[in-house]
Chains A and B, each alone.
Chain A
Amino acid sequence: MNVRAQISMAMNLDKCIGCHTCSVTCKNVWTNRAGAEYMWWNNVETRPGPGYPRQWENQDRYNGGWAIDGGKLKLRIEIKRDYKPPGLDDYYQPWTYDYDVLFSEKQTDQQPVARPISLIDGQPMDVAYGPNWNDDLAGTDLLLEDPNLDPVQRSIYAQFKDVFMMYLPRICNHCLNPSCLAACPRKAIYKREEDGIVLVDQSRCRGYRFCVAACPYKKVYYNWKTGRSEKCIFCYPRIEAGQPTVCSLTCVGKIRYIGVLLYDADKVLDVAAEPDPTRLVRRFIDEVLLDPFDPNVVSAARSAGIPDDWITAARRSPVYKMVKRWQVAFPLHPEFRTLPMVFYVPPLSPVVTAFEQTYGAKITDVFPRVSELRIPVKYLASMFTAGDTALVEQALKKLIAVRIYERSKNVAEPGLADRARQALAEAGLTEQDAEEMYRLFAIARYEDRFVIPTNPKRYANQPQVQRGVAGLP
């Protein structure tokens, strides 16, 4: 066992209100620069939809991530010998508006209009795509580009009454098996020993963009001004000081949780090469992620040099609870085989009893059954479990059971308490679990959502080696 510790994130999609505050604050802190106009290290997608860059999940188009080739794990860009990164049109042409005209225009019969102008060359332009275009102005045709919708779902989706939506905030997943890192011939990308954050060393990067092509999430971006690539840094200067990332701190819905996960580095490649994609998530959770309460894990972690405060933090970690203990949070597109370390609690759909008459929804209770949820389980499974619907169903069952249980505490309805107990039993939860889940998901405080040990600096470089790189000569 080769124990490592990583700072990881979980997002409870049920609570995302799609306000994009995370994206905007991230932009203001990190990518408010020339060359980075089109970059959104954090972006929020309204799904179904083609996302940003357009159809990023379609690896026939972008060749991102890993695939099994002749029994071996290989980069798709290598298998296909196609190293092309996306162009600006695949992301979008960044624009602002010519606001100046509102002040300088001479008085005429018409209102002055602030036309869109390119953020790159300042010239007037037609806006044709954006970072969340389907939710902005585009309409249904674009929604159907979503690679997670199979043909049947596409036809279902066109029926208004069965329409569904959800928000998907995305950052770099700081993967355990990062394909961006593997693709870099300059070894400019590295995964930090102490907390697993994946970074691009700007002094080593030569701007070849193999990483951009190889990342299946398209979360490495090429800065055309500096000629180098850059990406989400998990706000490491804040994390090192025990502070949450900017996106997490400013999240209005409080959907984000940050905590330590312990994992077995020796298992990473073996699990990433699992031939059956639908087994990836189960093996990831069971074999790669470790239980910080297991004495064997703790002693191996200690001998690997992980400090005690990190092991304590791993035990309190909200991400550990969601991913490993309750198994209600899953990685995004595990079939790309990078073993992402950002996890998502799949959303329950809105409670729609009131609309039963109007739209003919087939609802049997205040809380629908998993099979009656508006967002098809198959769609969620395509996104989070490589098609393993059973995993998503059991997670949703748990989330619904907790709601029924909480309702039974507050609503005097005959038989409700029995039903709550039954729901919990079916979901495999105890009342104590339900209480704890409720506290963490619904009313968690800052210190429960963000359990971030400070950086031990135990791997920090020797100052004399750093001499001349930073500070005085």
Chain B
Amino acid sequence: MRTELLLPGVALAVAVVLAALGVMVVTAQGPAVLVKFVNGDLPVDPASPAWPKPVVVPLTSQILVYPLPPAVENRTVSVAAVYNGTHIAFLLEWRDDTEDVARPGGLDVFPDAVAVQFPVSRAQLPYICMGTVDNPVNIIYWRAGVGVQNLVAGAGYGLSPQQREALGLQATPTSPVELLPESAQVVQAYAVYRNDTWYVVFVRPLGSVHPLMASLSGDFSAAFAVWEGSKGERGGLKATSSWVQFRLEKPTAAPPPTPAVTTVTQTLAQVVETTPTWAWAVIGVLVALLAVMAGLALRRG
């Protein structure tokens, strides 16, 4: 009986304390990372001397939703970042004793994986657990043997089908985490597994190429998650960090060209897919008018 009361009691106490500290918990900041400026090409080799000394970011268990991983978590991920005016590169290193890579027929293989999330909006830090409807996050998700994806989380259910179509998303959301359209798949990943450690480099444009992709052309925040495949980690079974502050180092050498505004070139198919219904109605009316006029001209002739 006593133990039955004890648990809810403890939970209540924790909830009260958390509520009191609410603001502090949500906005608590980890260590800051200085994004070094480099002239010219960004390093894609983790061993490159261009990388600054990585900052160690502690990770904790995801403790909100099923399936819950074990509560004790002592993994860390080390983070370094550089930028060159048009692009930014991240180096993520974390220890993992087994190399788990997705392969054909690997039914019970869960690939090692890592993810970085950025707030889409700079106004306020989003909810750390993959954003909310009104404050989404942009996620770079890499899995060994699968590749890298540029995702958005949280936005789906806050937009109308028309807005979603205009953003190149499926009219009805299927998941809180969604793949951004093909035109926004602009992240490159380079991965090395060496000495029981994963080294993964992400390179992406500094600016944004999609309204739901974060622009990193000023100081920004990011959070990290790591999955260890050999322990069957996938989905909610993961280790996550709190928000980490990133500051862009001032360019030291010759001022680089101002951050290029990336133009999005649309293919015909994209134009067709993203043109709203009212535009089609207008086009239809115009075609009908043309047909009527042609008919009249023919009759007159």
Q: Are the CB atoms of B104 and A121 closer together than 8 Å?
A: yes
Picked from B67, B174, B234, B277, the residue with its CB within 8 Å of the CB of A204 is B174
Picked from B66, B102, B272, the residue with its CB within 8 Å of the CB of A185 is B66
From known contacts A120-B104, A120-B105, infer whether A210 and B235 are also in contact, taking CB-CB under 8 Å. yes
Q: Are the CB atoms of A84 and B232 closer together than 8 Å?
A: yes
Q: Are the CB atoms of B107 and A185 closer together than 8 Å?
A: no
Closest A-chain residue to B69, C-beta based?
A81
Min CB–CB distance B183 → chain A (angstroms):
17
Q: Quick check: which of B41-49, B164-172, B207-215 contacts chain A, the rest being far away?
A: B164-172
Min CB–CB distance A372 → chain B (angstroms):
44
Q: Are the CB atoms of B175 and A468 closer together than 8 Å?
A: no
Tell me if B58 is interfacial: C-beta within 8 Å of chain A. Answer: no
Min CB–CB distance B174 → chain A (angstroms):
4
Tell me if B52 is interfacial: C-beta within 8 Å of chain A. Answer: no
Closest A-chain residue to B236, C-beta based?
A185
Q: Are the CB atoms of B171 and A469 closer together than 8 Å?
A: yes
Closest A-chain residue to B164, C-beta based?
A468
A84: which B residues are within 8 A, CB to CB? 108, 232
Closest B-chain residue to A464, C-beta based?
B161
* CB < 8 Å A-B pair total: 81
Min CB–CB distance A282 → chain B (angstroms):
32
Q: Are the CB atoms of A83 and B170 closer together than 8 Å?
A: no
Picked from A87, A185, A225, A227, the residue with its CB within 8 Å of the CB of B67 is A185
Cα A91 to Cα B108 with chains together (Å): 11
Cα A372 to Cα B175 with chains together (Å): 57
Tell me if A66 is interfacial: C-beta within 8 Å of chain B. Answer: no
Cα A78 to Cα B67 with chains together (Å): 8
Cα A185 to Cα B65 with chains together (Å): 8
Give the number of chain A interface residues (Cβ < 8 Å).
35
Closest B-chain residue to A207, C-beta based?
B234
A469: which B residues are within 8 A, CB to CB? 170-172
Min CB–CB distance B152 → chain A (angstroms):
15
Cα A209 to Cα B235 with chains together (Å): 10
Q: Are the CB atoms of B175 and A206 closer together than 8 Å?
A: yes
Closest B-chain residue to A84, C-beta based?
B232
Q: Are the CB atoms of B234 and A209 closer together than 8 Å?
A: yes
Give the number of chain B interface residues (Cβ < 8 Å).
30
Q: Are the CB atoms of A473 and B165 closer together than 8 Å?
A: yes
B172: which A residues are within 8 A, CB to CB? 465-466, 468-469
B107: which A residues are within 8 A, CB to CB? 38, 85-88, 91, 209, 212, 222, 224
Q: Are the CB atoms of A224 and B105 closer together than 8 Å?
A: yes
Q: Are the CB atoms of A87 and B175 closer together than 8 Å?
A: no
A445: which B residues are within 8 A, CB to CB? none
A87: which B residues are within 8 A, CB to CB? 107-109
Q: Are the CB atoms of A208 and B235 closer together than 8 Å?
A: yes
Cα A280 to Cα B57 with chains together (Å): 52
Closest B-chain residue to A201, C-beta based?
B174
Tell me if A467 is interfacial: C-beta within 8 Å of chain B. Answer: yes
Min CB–CB distance B126 → chain A (angstroms):
20
Cα A212 to Cα B109 with chains together (Å): 13
Closest A-chain residue to B277, C-beta based?
A473
Cα A467 to Cα B162 with chains together (Å): 10
Q: Are the CB atoms of A473 and B273 closer together than 8 Å?
A: yes
Q: Are the CB atoms of A203 and B165 closer together than 8 Å?
A: no
Cα A69 to Cα B106 with chains together (Å): 32
Q: Are the CB atoms of A186 and B175 closer together than 8 Å?
A: yes
Tell me if B32 is interfacial: C-beta within 8 Å of chain A. Answer: no
Min CB–CB distance A28 → chain B (angstroms):
21
Tell me if B223 is interfacial: C-beta within 8 Å of chain A. Answer: no
> Which chain B residues (89-128) contact chain A, with CB distance < 8 Å?
102-109
B155: which A residues are within 8 A, CB to CB? none
Min CB–CB distance A463 → chain B (angstroms):
12
Tell me if B81 is interfacial: C-beta within 8 Å of chain A. Answer: no
B67: which A residues are within 8 A, CB to CB? 77-78, 83, 185, 210
Q: Mark A175-210, 1 if CB is under 8 A from B, else 0.
A: 000000000011000000000000001011011111
Q: Are the CB atoms of B237 and A203 closer together than 8 Å?
A: no
B65: which A residues are within 8 A, CB to CB? 185
> Which chain A residues (34-55) contact chain B, with CB distance < 8 Å?
38
B25: which A residues are within 8 A, CB to CB? none
B165: which A residues are within 8 A, CB to CB? 468, 473
Q: Are the CB atoms of A88 and B105 closer together than 8 Å?
A: yes
Q: Mark B267-282, 1 if CB is under 8 A from A, else 0.
A: 0000011010100000
Tell me if B192 is interfacial: C-beta within 8 Å of chain A. Answer: no
Question: What 9 pairs across the A-B complex have the smallest Cβ distances?
Answer: A468-B171, A87-B108, A203-B174, A120-B105, A208-B235, A204-B174, A208-B234, A88-B105, A120-B104
A-B residue pairs in contact (CB < 8 Å), sample of 22: A77-B67, A81-B70, A83-B67, A83-B232, A85-B107, A85-B108, A86-B108, A87-B108, A88-B107, A88-B108, A121-B104, A185-B236, A186-B175, A203-B174, A206-B177, A208-B234, A209-B234, A210-B235, A224-B102, A224-B105, A467-B161, A468-B171
